[in-house]
């Protein structure tokens, strides 16, 4: 889902006062400090899920795997119910539950990255995300995290480009893979594989997904990687959204392993005056995911980013690899 569209819609006067009344200048700058400890509170319940990639062969290409993921992975804060929150689990707990695709939205502010969903600061910073990932990968060195990084909301008070600031994080953490091709597991275990949704002057800088289309199903063929992505995030009808999702799964399970499929099950329903309702979609789609994978228990279904991911749905997806 394109979060900037999600949170920049006309709303009623009351909601405007609560959610959208701040201008770019009025919004308080988030304090950039580590705000999340990488605790693994779900570990006891998800022992198999926190190390499932270790059972796959080193020569397995990431494009050939079913990978549970989260949409807008850091979005757990909202001032009005249903309008911005996309996840219940922290980044650390998502990883423990088997999630291996993170969708990270970064606001560039004060030469650093704050995690946002549209205008809403998520009380989380990129350091927090990378620290949680590094801790997890240190404890589970055979796992791999695919991370989509996208610029979010308005840049503020910077003296360098988004790319230059991103490079400082790469230098600091050192475990981010910047290869342009979709790798094999054995080449990237214990690391973060970058899926880049921001422009770059120096390449290779991750798998290039800068030509990401808006609210549709589309392909990216950039000479180094082939991707097919379903990201129909404005959902007027849940049945149509579900048809988009299952059509992609049918294709991914029968098509070439060289194509990386990314199939977003997330979205929002525009209510009166365009007010977004995320739970109107997730409340319908998520139970259908569980039902679908109760019968489709084996196959290649690509990356599946979800809203409000949990260990049950994550396990159902990852278990199709075995």
117 a catalytic residue: yes
What is the rounded distance in angstroms from the CA atom of residue 209 to the CA atom of residue 199?
9
- For 277-286, give one letter per residue: b (16+ CB within 10 A) or e: bbbbbbebbb
SS3 160: coil
Query: What secondary structure does DSSP assign to 83-113, as a single string?
Result: SS---SS-HHHHHHTT--EEEEEEEEETTEE
Q: Please give the helix or strand (H or E) that residue 59 lies within, else none.
A: none
Rounded to 5°, the CA angle 194-105-45 comes to 75
Give residue for tokens 């995300």.
129
Instruction: Indicate which residue of 71, 108, 116, 140 is catalytic.
Output: 71
The residues pairing with 219 across neighbouring beta strands, listed in sequence order, are 228
| Structure tokens that stand for 254 in this block | 């029968």
Q: What CA–CA distances, in Å, run from 128 to 12, 131, 135, 271? A: 35, 5, 11, 33
Instruction: Indicate which residue of 108, 116, 117, 140 is catalytic.
Output: 117
Residues carrying an active site annotation: 71, 117
């Amino acid at each position: 889902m394109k979060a900037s569209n999600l949170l920049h819609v006309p709303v009623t006067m009351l909601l405007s006062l609560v959610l959208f009344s701040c201008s770019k200048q009025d919004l308080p700058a988030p304090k950039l400090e580590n705000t999340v400890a990488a605790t693994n509170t779900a570990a006891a319940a998800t022992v198999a899920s926190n190390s499932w990639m270790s059972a796959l062969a080193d020569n397995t290409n990431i494009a050939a795997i079913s990978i549970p993921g989260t949409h807008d992975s850091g979005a757990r804060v909202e001032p009005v119910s249903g309008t911005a929150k996309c996840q219940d689990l922290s980044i650390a707990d998502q990883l423990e539950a088997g999630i291996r695709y993170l969708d990270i939205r970064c606001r560039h502010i004060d030469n650093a990255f704050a995690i946002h969903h549209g205008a809403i600061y998520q009380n989380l910073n990129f350091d927090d995300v990378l620290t949680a990932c590094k801790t997890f990968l240190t404890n589970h060195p055979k796992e791999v995290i695919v991370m989509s990084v996208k610029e979010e909301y308005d840049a503020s008070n910077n003296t360098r480009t988004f790319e230059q600031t991103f490079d400082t994080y790469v230098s600091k953490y050192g475990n981010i893979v910047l290869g342009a091709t979709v790798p094999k597991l054995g080449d990237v275990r214990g690391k973060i594989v970058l899926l880049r949704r921001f422009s770059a002057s120096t390449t290779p800088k991750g798998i290039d997904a800068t030509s990401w289309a808006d609210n549709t199903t589309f392909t990216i063929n950039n000479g180094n990687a082939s991707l097919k992505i379903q990201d129909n995030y404005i959902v007027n009808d849940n049945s149509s959204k579900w048809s988009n999702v299952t059509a992609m799964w049918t294709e991914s399970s029968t098509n070439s392993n060289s194509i990386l499929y990314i199939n977003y099950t997330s979205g929002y329903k525009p209510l009166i005056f365009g007010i977004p309702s995320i739970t109107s979609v997730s409340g319908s789609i998520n139970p259908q995911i569980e039902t679908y994978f109760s019968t489709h228990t084996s196959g290649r279904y690509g990356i599946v980013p979800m809203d409000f991911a949990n260990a049950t749905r994550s396990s159902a997806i990852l278990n199709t690899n075995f």
